[in-house]
């Protein structure tokens, strides 16, 4: 009987090839990084990449499966120095979970996720039309596990149902993604950073209020200017 090569099997094979090292794969990635960074996803063709890498379209399909998958690989590699949530959050696992400490952690996370370097990265690549291919969103999807793992552990001492902790983790992550979409897609590179930072503080507090409602905790109130200044100084650039 002839073996059926189904979609799931194909994806497993492609995942293996993407991890496989080879000079040709490295050259494809180098060429893709150059063209995507200069022209963005929409204006870069597979032909641009293969002509520069001196390889065939078959080689790109063999190692990555599609242009979108290659784009994701490039963005994730470029993002190694961005969105280091583990480094930011892990030191606070020993902190006691209270409405006030949760408020501070959410503000710290928001301020870090949208610091100057990360915003610059989000606007680095031009010409992206589909949300699916947004560079910052690709990274955030990859990083969700780090955010969820931290908040599940951080909030576990509250003695709340695990499902509620999952809800809070998803709330925080979804709000970060929503902000990314609205400001990357709607405002583009013309973003007013000063106004954005002011609104970011409000979004962080609204997120805290929603999280406390889910967990049945009291509203900790807005952070003082002194507390915000302290968090800003502690947050990596």
Q: Look-up: residue for tokens 């790109």?
A: 60
Tell me which of 7 and 61 has the higher pLDDT: 61
Answer yes or no: is 1 within a domain. no
Which DSSP symbol is given to 185?
I
Which DSSP symbol is given to 191?
-
**Which pLDDT does position 75 carry in this prediction?**
77
Containing domain of residue 168, as a range? 82-234
Query: Are 104 and 52 part of one and the same domain?
Result: no
Q: Average pLDDT for residues 112-126, to the nearest whole number?
A: 69
Interatomic CA distance for residues 186 and 156, integer angstroms: 37
- The pLDDT tens digits of the residues spanning 14-48 come to 455 556 678 888 899 899 988 887 887 778 899 99
**Which pLDDT does position 165 carry in this prediction?**
95
Q: Where is the domain boundary, 47, 80, 113?
A: 80
Confidence of residue 10 (pLDDT cuts 50, 70, 90): very low
Interatomic CA distance for residues 2 and 177, integer angstroms: 45
Interatomic CA distance for residues 143 and 83, integer angstroms: 8
Q: What is the overall mean pLDDT for the chain? A: 80
- The pLDDT tens digits of the residues spanning 132-174 come to 456 666 667 777 888 899 999 999 999 999 999 999 999 999 9
Query: Are 89 and 27 part of one and the same domain?
Result: no
Query: Are 124 and 183 part of one and the same domain?
Result: yes
* CB-CB contact of 194 with 144 (8 Å): no
Q: How would you class 21 by CB atoms within 10 Å of its CB: exposed for 0-12, middle for 13-18, buried for 19 or more?
A: exposed
């Amino acid at each position: 009987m002839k073996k059926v090569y189904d979609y799931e099997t194909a994806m497993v094979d492609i995942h293996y090839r993407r991890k496989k090292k080879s000079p040709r794969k490295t050259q494809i990635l180098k060429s893709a990084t150059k063209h995507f960074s200069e022209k963005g996803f929409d204006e870069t063709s597979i032909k641009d990449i293969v002509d520069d890498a001196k390889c065939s379209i078959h080689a790109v399909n063999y190692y990555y499966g599609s242009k979108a998958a290659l784009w994701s690989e490039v963005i994730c590699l470029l993002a190694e120095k961005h969105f280091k949530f583990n480094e930011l959050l892990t030191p606070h696992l020993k902190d006691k979970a209270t409405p006030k400490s949760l408020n501070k952690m959410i503000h710290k996370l928001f301020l870090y996720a949208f610091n100057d370097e990360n915003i610059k990265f989000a606007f680095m690549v031009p010409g992206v039309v589909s949300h699916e291919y947004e560079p910052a969103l690709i990274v955030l999807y990859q990083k969700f596990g780090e955010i969820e793992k931290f908040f599940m552990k951080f909030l576990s001492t509250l003695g709340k149902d695990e499902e509620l902790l999952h809800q809070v983790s998803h709330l925080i992550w979804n709000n970060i993604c929503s902000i990314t979409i609205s400001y990357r897609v709607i405002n583009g590179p013309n973003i007013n950073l000063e106004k954005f930072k002011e609104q970011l503080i409000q979004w962080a507090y609204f997120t805290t209020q929603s999280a406390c409602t889910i967990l049945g905790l009291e509203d900790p109130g807005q952070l003082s200017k002194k507390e915000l200044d302290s968090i800003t100084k502690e947050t990596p650039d």
